[in-house]
Amino acid sequence: MIKKVILTATACFLLLFHSELSAQQCKVKPIVNSCKSSLPPYQYDSYAVKEVVYGAKAKKEVLEFSVYSGEEYKLVFGKTELPQEINITIYDKHPSKKDKNIVYMDESGKKDNFVCNFQPTKTGTYYIEFEIPAATAANQKGCFVMLIGIKE
Amino acid sequence: MKKYFYHLRVLSSALFLFALASCGTNKEEESNAATQDTIAVASAKDTGDLTKDFFYALPSPLVMAKVFKKTGLKYVEGIANSPDNISKYSSVGRKTLNLGVYSSDLAYTVLNKQSQQASKYIEVMKKLSDDLGMSTLFDSDDYLMRFKNNLNNEDSLINIVCQLKGDMDIFMKDNEKEKQTLMIFIGAWIENMYIATQLTKEANKEKVAMRIAEQKFILNSLMNLVTSYQNDAELKDLFLKLSDLKTLFDNLSVQGEDEKLVMDELQLKAITEKTRDLRKEIVG
């Protein structure tokens, strides 16, 4: 009897451990497929992906992208695979820098794919800051994908 | 007694597995706690998470080629890497780097309406992709056939190149090929830089020099990513050579409120030579 209980417990722990590992992998294909129709007539340039893990407290994280001045860009934020909404702000410098400027802010509050047009005045790196709210359930995580399109 | 020890052993194994599973959770909680207060910490964590997130978007070879072409850069036959050189690339590392090189050559030829030459580049890209175990990438959407069927339509060719890049990005992420993605980008970036620096005389020199100088920002971002692989056998040497090139870019002066980069003739010459040497090592 004891042997049976211990073996069952072992199997449960193994299953738990395995599911945690699986959940850490961010598969982008379904998210990209859900938001790529928002890109045309802009042409695909590049993308970035971030696994979002909701914690006990709200937190901020940063994603970076490089663009050229004088070009017109469209950014498509794929947020459909997130269990909770995240707020997005784009800066011209790292968000920790005092002299940063806000380039764009998504205040829609919608848990949906979101699109913005963007014409950088300088070539280089821009920063997207996410505001990730506190988790409302255990082991809450999801994937965020950003597609970058450029005007022909 | 023997039975007692057997049960104890099974119980110990279960506890060990539990501890192992808990480790991941604790690590995650620690990570959350560490990142909740400051953005700077979050950013540092991002760098450590490179193998999990593609948190940095670098410009595609087509966009780089397009930006350079807008400066007046002309098409010069023989400047791009010859498709025949594919026979030289036997190691996985060289195949990967030259997949990037050829993706820039494909962009350069497509943008300059050299469709016959472009079709040779997409062929060698397919060959290298097959060799690197990425055959499903080209086969999934029959890219080669679609490309050849649209040789007379430049817009269609550009669209196909963009779609291929998009599919390649997804493929690389979903198959956890972060290092290979970086190597492909390095190859592509060097080839675009090589073409631009070699053809400054053929273009509006001031404009092209400005765009070359701006590559400082792209190189900085690239170096941030390559740093994670600086001890990797395939990237170690490349990291050092890119560091030398970065030093040349770091010497460029910055002027005015809009932080415009200024590059003189000597600096351009030094960057041109360093880029040429680095490219020579990659394409062989």
* Per-residue pLDDT tens digits for B52-73: 456 678 899 999 999 999 999 9
> Which residues are CB-contacts of B9 (< 8 A; sequence separation ≥ 6)?
none
Strands A59-67 vs B56-57: parallel, antiparallel or unpaired: parallel
Q: Is B56 on the interface with A (CB under 8 A)?
A: yes
The segment with the largest mean pLDDT, out of A120-124, B20-24, B31-35, B241-245, is B241-245
**pLDDT higher at B25 or B189:** B189
Query: A51 to chain B: nearest residue by CA?
Result: B53
More confident residue, A14 or B223: B223
Buried/exposed B111-136: b ≥16 CB within 10 Å, e otherwise: bbebbebbbbbbbbbbbbbebbebee
Q: Is B39 on the interface with A (CB under 8 A)?
A: yes
Dist CA B245 CA A66 (whole Å): 19
B280–chain A nearest CA distance, Å: 26
A32 CB neighbours in chain B (<8 A) are 166, 170
Mean pLDDT (whole number) for B223-250: 94
What is the rounded distance in angstroms from the CA atom of residue B127 to the CA atom of residue B87?
Answer: 11
Q: Do A6 and B42 touch (CB under 8 A)?
A: no
Q: Within 13 Å, how many C-alpha atoms sit on residue A112's CB side?
A: 7
Cβ contact, residue pair B174, A7, below 8 Å:
no
* Contacts with B, A 84-123, CB within 8 Å: 94-96, 121-123
A34-38, B31-35, B39-43, B153-157: least confident range: B39-43
Q: Select the residue of B57, B159, B169 nearest A65 (Cβ to Cβ).
A: B57
Q: Report pLDDT for B276.
A: 97
Other beta carbons less than 10 A from residue B95's beta carbon: 19
pLDDT of residue A42: 94
pLDDT, averaged across chain B: 83
- The mean per-residue pLDDT over the stretch A50-74 comes to 91
| Ordered alpha helix ranges (H), chain B | 2-35, 39-48, 61-69, 92-111, 115-131, 135-140, 143-149, 154-174, 178-198, 205-226, 236-250, 265-283
- Distance (Å, rounded) from C-alpha A38 to C-alpha A75? 9
* pLDDT score for A49: 87
Q: Nearest-CA distance from B184 to chain A in Å?
A: 13
The per-residue pLDDT for range A133-144, each reduced to its tens digit, is 999 999 999 888
Cβ A13–B17 below 8 Å, yes or no? yes
Per-residue confidence band for B260, with pLDDT thresholds at 50, 70 and 90: confident
List, as own/partner pairs, every contact residues B169-173 make where C-beta atoms lie below 8 angstroms and the sequence separation is at least 24, other chains included: B169/A46, B169/A47, B169/B54, B170/A28, B170/A29, B170/A32, B171/B134, B171/B136, B171/B137, B173/A26, B173/A28, B173/A49, B173/B54
Name the B residues in 76-135 with CB < 8 Å from any A CB: none
pLDDT tens, position by position, A69-115: 999 999 998 887 888 888 889 999 999 999 999 987 766 656 566 78
Q: Report the 10 Å Cβ neighbour count for B110.
A: 23
Q: What percent of chain B has pLDDT over 70?
A: 80
Residues 6 or more apart in contact with residue A49 via CB below 8 angstroms: A26, A28, A31, A143, A144, A145, A146, B53, B54, B55, B173
Report whether A90 contacts A126 (CB < 8 A). yes
Q: Measured in whole angstroms, how far is the alpha carbon of residue A88 from the centre of its chain?
A: 9
Q: What is the mean pLDDT of residues B214-218?
A: 95
Give this prediction's pTM: 0.81
Q: Give the domains, in start order, of chain A with CATH numbers.
A: 2-150 (2.60.120.380)
pLDDT recorded at residue A80: 77
User: Does residue B166 or residue B259 have the better pLDDT?
Assistant: B166
The predicted pLDDT at position A26 comes to 77
**Residue B89 DSSP symbol:** -
Nearest-neighbour CA in chain B from A141: distance (Å): 11
> What local confidence, expressed as pLDDT, does residue A3 receive?
66
Of the two residues B3 and A69, the one the predictor is more confident about is A69
Q: Within its chain, how far is the Cα of A34 from the centroid?
A: 14
Beta bridge partners of B262: B253
- Name the token pair of A29: 């294909």
Residue B47 contacts A, CB cutoff 8 Å: no
Q: What percent of chain B has pLDDT over 90?
A: 67
Q: Find chain A residues with C-beta within 8 A of B220's C-beta.
A: 125
Answer yes or no: do B170 and A32 touch at CB < 8 A.
yes
Distance from CA of A85 to the nearest CA of B (A): 17
What integer is the mean pLDDT of B101-120?
Answer: 97
* pLDDT of A111: 56
Residue that wins the pLDDT comparison between A17 and B277? B277
Q: Which residues of B touch A101 (CB under 8 A)?
A: none
Residues 191-220 in B contacting A (C-alpha not used; CB under 8 Å): 211, 214, 217-218, 220
Give the residue from A8, A59, A132 with the most B CB atoms within 10 Å of its CB, the best one to mutate.
A59
pLDDT (tens digit per residue) in A33-52:
888 899 999 999 999 888 88
Q: What is the pLDDT of residue B36?
A: 31
The beta-carbon neighbor of B52 closest among A32, A51, A96 is A51
Tokens of B50: 């490179």
Residue B102: pLDDT band with limits 50, 70, 90: very high
- Averaged pLDDT for residues B107-134: 96
Could you give the CA distance from residue A43 to residue B159 in angstroms, rounded to a whole number?
Answer: 7
- Choice among A50-59, B39-48, B131-140, B220-229 with the minimum mean pLDDT: B39-48
Residue B243 pLDDT class (50, 70, 90 cuts): very high
* Shortest Cα–Cα distance, A29 to chain B (Å): 6
Place of tokens 């910055």: B254
Cα B232 to Cα B244: distance, rounded to the nearest angstrom: 18
A69 touches chain B (CB under 8 A): yes
